[in-house]
Amino acid sequence: MKKNPRVLLVATMDTKAEETLYVEAVLKEQGLQVLIMDPGIMGDVPHAVAVTREEVVRAAGSSLAEVRAIGHEGKALDVMISGAVRCALSLHQKDEIHGIIALGGSMGTTLGTAVMRAFPVGFPKVMISTMASRDTRHFVGTRDILMLYAVCDINGLNRMTKKVLRNGALAVAGMVQGKPSEAEDKKPLVALSTLGTIEDCSRPVKQALETRGYEVVVFHGVGAGGAAMEEMIREEEVDAVVDLSLHEIADRLFGGDYDAGPDRGRGALQEGIPTLLVPGNIDFLAAGPMAEAERRFPGRRCHQHNAAITCVRSEKDEIEAVGKVLAGYCNESRGPVSLLVPLEGFSALDRQKGPLHDPEGPLLFEKAFRQALKKQISVEGLPLHINDEAFAWAVIERFDEMMAESGQ
C-alpha cells in the first residue's frame, strides 16, 4: 500500500460542493488524503480547494475572464479540460496522487473522464456519473475507467445520492489501498488481436505462444479493442504483434461500427516491432440491428450475429482496398513483417456454405496487396480456412521463423 495515499477529487465546486465534500469525508474516513480540483467557471467557490479554477485555466494558457468571454459552453469546457489534464499529470509526475475520482452530469463526466484517459492502465479511476447508463465508449475510450451510474441527479445529498457517492468513494479507496501486485514476471510480451469469428485460430495461437514463454495480451477487435492495442504497442515494451483480425481497418474505410481510428494496424510497423499479419474478418463490416444494417448497406448480404450486431458482407472492391491500404502500411515498416492469407476464407462466416462466403475474396486481397507492396516482406497464401487447425499452426511456425530471423 502507498504511504500517505492521496486521491484527486475532480468536481465543479460552484454546482457540486455539497456532494464533493461528502465524498471527501468518506475518503478521509478510509485514511486517505484528498486533493480537490475545481474546474468550474462561473459560480462562487464555497470551500477551499487544492487546485483552484484559476490554476486550471492558467495551465491551459488562458484566464477565467477569457474563458467566461468565450460564450460557448463546449469551447469553454475544452479549455478547462486542457488545463485540468495538465494539472493532474503534474501531480502524478510528482507522485502526489495515487487515484482519481470525479462526479458530475454530462459536462462533469466529459471533463472528469478526459482527465482519467490521460492516465495509464492500472491507475485507479472512478467516475460517478448520470451518464453511465448510456453508451460510455466516448467517455471510457481505451482506459480502465470505472463508471458508476448515479441513478438520480447529483443534486444535493439524500438517501439515494449518499449511497452512490459513498460506494464510489469506497471503490477508489479500495483500489488505492489495495496491496501492490507481486513483482511482475518480465516475460516477452505479444499483442494478439481476435474476434469471436476467428476464435478457432486465435485460441491455439495464444496457447502456443504461452507455451513458448510469452505473455500474451489479447485484444477484442470491436473498435476500442484495436485502439487500445495500438496504444499499448506505443506505451509498453511489446516484443511482437500477431494481428489476426484486421476488419477494424475495413470498418474505418467503409463505415462499419468497429472503427479503431486512423492508426489501426500501423503502430507496430512504425515502431519496428516484429509483426505477423493475417487479414482475418475483413469479409464483413460490423453494423447495428438488422433493420439498421439493411438501411445503411442496401442490397448487401447480411448475417444477424445477435439482436444488436449484424455482419454485412464486404464488397470485392472493399476487399481489394484493404489489401492496398495494408500494403501501404507495410511499405513504411521498420522491422520484420510477415503476411499469411487464408485462401479458403477470412472468418467463420466466410466458410464454404457459410452465410457470407465469397471464394474470390482472399485471392483478390492477396493480388491487391502484392501489387501495392514495395518492400521485400514474407507474403504467403495458404489453401486453408482461417479457422483450420493447420492454419493456426502455420501462424505459429511463421512466428517462430520471424522471431528467429529478428534475433529474438
pLDDT (mean) for 118-125: 93
Residue 408 has pLDDT above 80, yes or no: no
pLDDT in tens, 318-377: 999 999 999 999 999 999 999 999 999 999 999 999 999 999 999 999 999 999 999 999
Rg, C-alpha atoms of the chain? 24
Structure confidence at residue 407 as a pLDDT band (50, 70, 90):
confident
- All three cell numbers of 50, joined, read 487544492
Residue 195 has pLDDT above 60, yes or no: yes
pLDDT in tens, 161-192: 999 999 999 999 999 998 766 556 689 999 99
Q: Give the per-residue SS3 of the chain.
A: CCCCCEEEEECCHHHHHHHHHHHHHHHHHCCCEEEEECCCCCCCCCCCCCECHHHHHHHCCCCHHHHHCCCCHHHHHHHHHHHHHHHHHHHHHCCCCCCEEEEECHHHHHHHHHHHHCCCCCCCEEEEECCCCCCCHHHHCCCCCEEEECCCCCCCCCHHHHHHHHHHHHHHHHHHHCCCCCCCCCCCEEEEEECHHHHHHHHHHHHHHHHCCCEEEEEECCCHHHHHHHHHHHHCCCCEEEEEECHHHHHHHHCCCCCCCCCCCCHHHHHCCCEEEEEECCCEEEECCHHHHHHHCCCCCEEECCCCCEEEECCHHHHHHHHHHHHHHHHCCCCCEEEEEECCCCCHHHCCCCCCCCCHHHHHHHHHHHHHCCCCCEEEEECCCCCCHHHHHHHHHHHHHHHHHCCC
Structure confidence at residue 43 as a pLDDT band (50, 70, 90):
confident
Residue of 296, 277, 278 whose CA lies nearest to 286:
296
Determine the distance from the C-alpha atom of residue 124 to the mean position of all C-alpha atoms in its chain, rounded to a whole number: 16
- Residue range(s) of every CATH 3.40.50.12020 domain in the chain: 6-177
Contact 128, 166 (CB under 8 A): no
Task: Return d(Cα 100, Cα 102) in angstroms, integer.
Answer: 7
Task: Return d(Cα 395, Cα 204) in angstroms, integer.
Answer: 10
**Residues contacting residue 72 through CB under 8 Å, at least 6 positions apart:** none
Tell me yes or no: is domain 6-177 CATH 3.40.50.12020: yes
- All three cell numbers of 169, joined, read 468513494
- Name the fold adopted by 189-405: Rossmann fold (3.40.50)
How many other C-beta atoms can be found within 10 angstroms of the C-beta atom of residue 28?
A: 14
Structure confidence at residue 99 as a pLDDT band (50, 70, 90):
very high
Kindly report the backbone phi and psi dihedral angles of residue 2, in degrees, each rounded to the nearest multiple of 5, phi listed first: -65, 145
**Residues contacting residue 220 through CB under 8 Å, at least 6 positions apart:** 194, 195
Least confident of 135-144, 307-316, 357-366, 372-381: 135-144
